[in-house]
Amino acid sequence: MLVESVKNQDGRIIKQRTMRNLTIQTNKKGFVGERNARLEAIWEDALNQLVENNLIEDRGYKGEVFSVTRLGYKYADVLQNKSSAESSAAIQQNDLEFDGTSEPYISKKDHIRYCHKCFHSSSQRVPLKEQQNGWYCSVCKELYRNPNYKPPTRANNDYNPSA
């Protein structure tokens, strides 16, 4: 779905639920097809995972219009390279460097971070979700702290206990 959405000129994914069925489409291609509760659950979960991993973002107010994010375009490029050149372009451990300060693997090519625990236990390489103080793995729920993060400090006029 992500790879197909980046082929679309505006990078949009449309989700519509009617009384009869669920429709998810992008680039003039539908992903559910027929009324099938199992397929609807699979594709709706895939859409939710793209949102959770910051690969797409909700652009509407009803959860019906989504757009590919910058990270989504980068990850789609990785997926397209992987499918076009099988093992030579696939993300392998030797394509990554271990960041000793924050512990995730970092792609040498595009600097996307991957969970080192999930990298070996899953065939799907899901990038870490960036947060204010680090990176979060949506698969194993591991939080990798950013060593350069400095929490905000109080301004002198915020609170005065002696007053």
Percent of all residues in the chain with a pLDDT value above 70, rounded to a whole number: 69
pLDDT of residue 91: 55
- Rounded to the nearest 10°, the torsion over CA 7, 9, 14, 74 is 50
Per-residue pLDDT reduced to its tens digit, 33-82 = 677 788 888 888 999 999 998 999 999 888 899 999 999 998 888 877 75
Q: Within this chain, do residues 66 and 95 fall inside the same structural domain, yes or no?
A: no
pTM attached to this predicted model: 0.52
Q: Within this chain, do residues 22 and 65 fall inside the same structural domain, yes or no?
A: yes
Please say whether the beta carbons of 60 and 47 come within 8 A: no
Q: Within this chain, do residues 6 and 66 fall inside the same structural domain, yes or no?
A: yes
Quote the number of domains for the chain.
2
Asked if the structure places residue 25 within a domain, the reply is yes
Asked if the structure places residue 37 within a domain, the reply is yes
Q: Within this chain, do residues 14 and 59 fall inside the same structural domain, yes or no?
A: yes
Q: Within this chain, do residues 64 and 95 fall inside the same structural domain, yes or no?
A: no
Asked if the structure places residue 22 within a domain, the reply is yes
What are the tokens at 143? Answer: 């939080």
Q: Within this chain, do residues 66 and 19 fall inside the same structural domain, yes or no?
A: yes
Residue 9's domain spans which residues?
2-70
